[in-house]
Structure 1
C-alpha cells in the first residue's frame, strides 16, 4: 500500500474567508477518465523524480558461485509510458499502467571471494520492455481538513513480461562465467521486490501528476494578485469524472504576514447538472469574475479625464457576458453596457513549461448609447486591456489543454461552462 500525502497542513496562509463552504464554490472543475489518461500519458515523464530517486538509492548485492555482485547508482536513461488507463467508480478508481518500457543503467562491480580473487567493474544495462501495474485508488481525508487529503492505493499488482540485460566490463572473463546466473537472479528480483520498487515509484509519480496542488494560482508570480484555488471540499471521484471545487475569487497575497486579502461576500447561485464529453470542464459562476472587478477597483482607475467607478457582470447570455461599467467624466457619471465573450487562454508561469488556464473578459463591444466619443471608448478598452490582466481568473494547472478546441457554453444567467481536450 502507498500513502502519498499531498499537503502537510490545511493551508499555509490565511484568507478573509478562512472556512469556505460548498455554497461558496464559484468555480468547479471536472476531469473525465479519458482526460486523466491523456493528461497522464502526455506529462508523466516530467514527474519521475520519485522513481529516479528510488533507483539511485538502490544498492543491490548478491553472491553467486563465490562472486559478490554489486549494483548501485542506477540512472533512468529512457521511459516510454503511453498506455495509462483510469476506470472511475463511485469514490474510487482502478488504475492500469500497461506496456511500460524502462531503460536503466547501473554501476556493476564483481569481486571473486575465492582464488584467484579476480575483481572487475563496469556497467549493467537493464531494459524492461513490458512492465504492467494495476492498483485501486481512493481518496482519504484526515484532521477534519478536506484540503489535506491522501491518495491511497491498495492491491497493487506488478507484472514484468519481458526484459533484456547487457553487461560491459573491463575484463569479460569473470563476467562470462556467471552472466547466466546473474540474469536468472535478476529475473526473480524483477518479479519480486525490485519490480515492486519500480512500480511503486511509477505510481507515486503518477499520483503527484494527477493531483498537483496549487492553491494560489497567479498569471504572474511577481504580482500579489492571485486566484483562491483551495480545494476546500477535497476531491470527489464519481463514475464519470473527478471533481474539485474552489471559490475562484481573487485576493491580494501578502507574503510578509502570509495572508490573502479580499473577499466578495455574495451568494453563489445553483445551476443544473451539466457535463460534456470534453476531457477538462470548467464551470464558473459570475461571482468569480465580479470578485476580480471588485479587487481591481480597490485602486483608482483613471485615464484621460475618465474614471472607472464600477464594473459588474450582471448576467450571461448565449452570446456572451453582459457587463455594466460606471464611469465618471466631466463631473457626471454614466453607465455603459458591454456584451463580451469569455475566452480561454494559457499563460506560461515558469521556465519549466508549466501552463495555467486563464479566463478572460475585456471591454471591447459596447452595446449601449453613450455620450463618450469613439476615441474615448477605444481608450477605455485599451486602458482596461493593459491594466486588468493580473486580475483574470487563473487555474492551475492546464498542461496540454487545447485553446483551439475550447468550447464555451453559457448555462444560464449566472454560470458558464468551458470544455476542452488534452492534446
Structure 2
C-alpha cells in the first residue's frame, strides 16, 4: 500500500507541450520483475528512513464516555523514533493491480498526552508516553492511470485496499497524578489502543508517501541539458504496465528545444516496446529514435556536428543492429558530399548528486564513401574526433536511481524492435548512497 505511491509524481505542469502523448510515443521504458521491484523499493526505504522521523504528525483526540462524564484524551507532539522494515514483497498480475506486503515491521512512537474531563470537577492531567508496535504487517493494493486532464503525462495511483496487522501493540503512559486518571487508566488504554492502531496505519501511509516521493520520484517532467537550451521530456505515456510478475513504466524520452516545444522530431509515434524480454531484475530500454531526436536538435539549433574542415549536411542517424549501433553522418567537403558510418559503443555515466545519468557513445570507424579529390583517411579521422568531442554534450539523459548501478549492466541490442536494453539485477544487499564526479 504505502511504497506503491512512489509511482506518483507530485509536480506542477509547467511545460506546455504541444500534445498529449500516447502509448506508442514511448522512446524509453523501465521494467522490473517482482523481485526487482521489491528490492528496488526496499533499498529506497532503507536509504531514506531518517526522513520519516521528521514527518509532522497531526494530533489525535479520543473521547471516552464513562457514564456520567466524558474524558477527552489527546496525544500531541507525536514523533516516530524507531522504524524497522526488514523485508518487502511485491505481487504483480495482469489485472494492473500491484500488491505490496511489508511484514515484520517494528514501529516506536513517543508523544505527550493530555487528559481533560468535560464535566465537574473538570479534572485535567498530562504526561508523556510511548507506543511500541512489533511484528506489524502493512499491506495494500493499488492501480494506476495517467492523468489526462489536470496534468497530462503524470501518473496517478489509486489505493483500493490497505491494511495493518500486528502481533503486539503496547502503550505506556508516564505521569498522570490525578486520582481519576489512575482509576480509569485501564479504560483509557483500551479505548486508545484501537485508535492508535488506525492512527499508525494512516500515519505510516503518509510517511512512506513522503519518503517514496523523495526517493523514487522520477523527478522533473523535463530535464535540462547542460546548455539549458534543450529539455528531455520525462512524461509518462501510459499507466504502469503490469504483466505476469513484472511492471513497466513508459516514458516519452523525447528531446525538445525549450523555447519552441512545437518543433517535434517525432509526431506520429514510434511503435511499442516489448516490455519484458529478459529474466533480469531490471531492464531499461531506449529506442534508436531517442538518439536521433537528440542529433536532430543539436544539429538544427547548435550545428554541433560540423567541424572546422567539414560541414554536417543533415543530422546524424543511428540504428541498432543485433551486435552494435551504427551512426551515419553526411558531411560536405569542398562542395562534395561524403557518407560516413561509425560504430557507436554506448557508455553509461551517472551523476548521483543530480540524480541523473547519461548514455553517450564512443565512436570508432566503420566505413567512408570514397570520392575523387577527398582524402578519406584524413576526413574520417576529423569526423571521428569531432563526434567523440561532442558525444557527452549530445548524450541521452535519464533519471538515475541510487539503488542500482546501471553502469554495471549489460548492453543488449535488439534490431527487430530498434531498441537498446540495459539489463541487470538488483544487488542482494542495498547499495549505499554514493557520490560520483560531476558529468
Q: Taking structure 1 as the reference length, what is the TM-score of the superposition? A: 0.78
Q: 1:9 to 1:178 in 2, by over 3 A?
A: closer
Measured in 1, the distance between the counterparts of 2:196 and 2:122 equals 31
Deviation (angstroms), 1:79 = 2.2
Contact 1:253 1:260 (8 Å CA) reproduced? no
Q: Deviations over 1:126-181 (max 9, x none)?
A: 23222212222223566678745532223422212223444454979998776655
Deviation (angstroms), 1:266 = 7.1
Contact 2:57 2:78 (8 Å CA) reproduced? yes
Structure 2 match to 1:81: 85
Measured in 2, the distance between the counterparts of 1:64 and 1:150 equals 41
Contact 1:220 1:349 (8 Å CA) reproduced? no
Structure 2 match to 1:57: 58
Contact 1:14 1:260 (8 Å CA) reproduced? no
Pairing partner for 1:289 from 288, 291, 294 = 291
* Worse-superposed segment, 30-39 or 145-154: 145-154
Pairing partner for 2:258 from 253, 262, 266 = 253
Contact 1:96 1:135 (8 Å CA) reproduced? yes
* Worse-superposed segment, 18-27 or 97-106: 18-27
Pairing partner for 1:238 from 220, 243, 249 = 243
Contact 1:160 1:190 (8 Å CA) reproduced? no
Structure 1 match to 2:378: 372
Q: 1:120 to 1:153 in 2, by over 3 A?
A: closer
Measured in 1, the distance between the counterparts of 2:78 and 2:227 equals 39
Pairwise mapping of residues 13-412 of structure 1 onto structure 2 (< 5 A)? 13-16=15-18, 18-44=19-45, 46=48, 53=55, 56-62=57-63, 69-90=73-94, 91-110=96-115, 119-121=125-127, 123-140=128-145, 147=153, 150-169=156-175, 182-191=188-197, 193-201=198-206, 204-205=209-210, 208=213, 212-214=217-219, 216-218=221-223, 220=225, 223-254=228-259, 259=261, 261-265=263-267, 268=270, 274-298=276-300, 299-301=302-304, 302-329=306-333, 332-348=336-352, 350=354, 355-363=355-363, 365-368=364-367, 370-372=376-378, 376=382, 379-385=385-391, 388-389=392-393, 391-412=394-415
Contiguous gaps of at least 5 residues in structure 2:
369-375, 428-439
Deviation (angstroms), 1:71 = 1.3
Measured in 1, the distance between the counterparts of 2:311 and 2:34 equals 48
Secondary structure in structure 2 of the residue aligned to 1:194: helix
Q: Which structure's residues are more often strand, by fraction?
A: 1
Secondary structure in structure 1 of the residue aligned to 2:194: helix
Deviation (angstroms), 1:58 = 2.1
Deviation (angstroms), 1:323 = 0.8
Measured in 2, the distance between the counterparts of 1:181 and 1:275 equals 59
Q: 1:229 to 1:133 in 2, by over 3 A?
A: same
Secondary structure in structure 1 of the residue aligned to 2:285: strand
Measured in 1, the distance between the counterparts of 2:145 and 2:272 equals 27
Deviation (angstroms), 1:221 = 7.4
Q: Deviations over 1:331-388 (max 9, x none)?
A: 54433321122233323364xxxx234322243x122353317874564245314xx4
Measured in 2, the distance between the counterparts of 1:223 and 1:75 equals 42
* Worse-superposed segment, 126-135 or 195-204: 195-204
Deviation (angstroms), 1:410 = 0.9
Deviation (angstroms), 1:75 = 1.9
Measured in 1, the distance between the counterparts of 2:214 and 2:367 equals 47
Contact 1:313 1:321 (8 Å CA) reproduced? no
- Please tell me the root mean square deviation across aligned C-alpha atoms, in Å: 4.1
Contiguous gaps of at least 5 residues in structure 1:
none
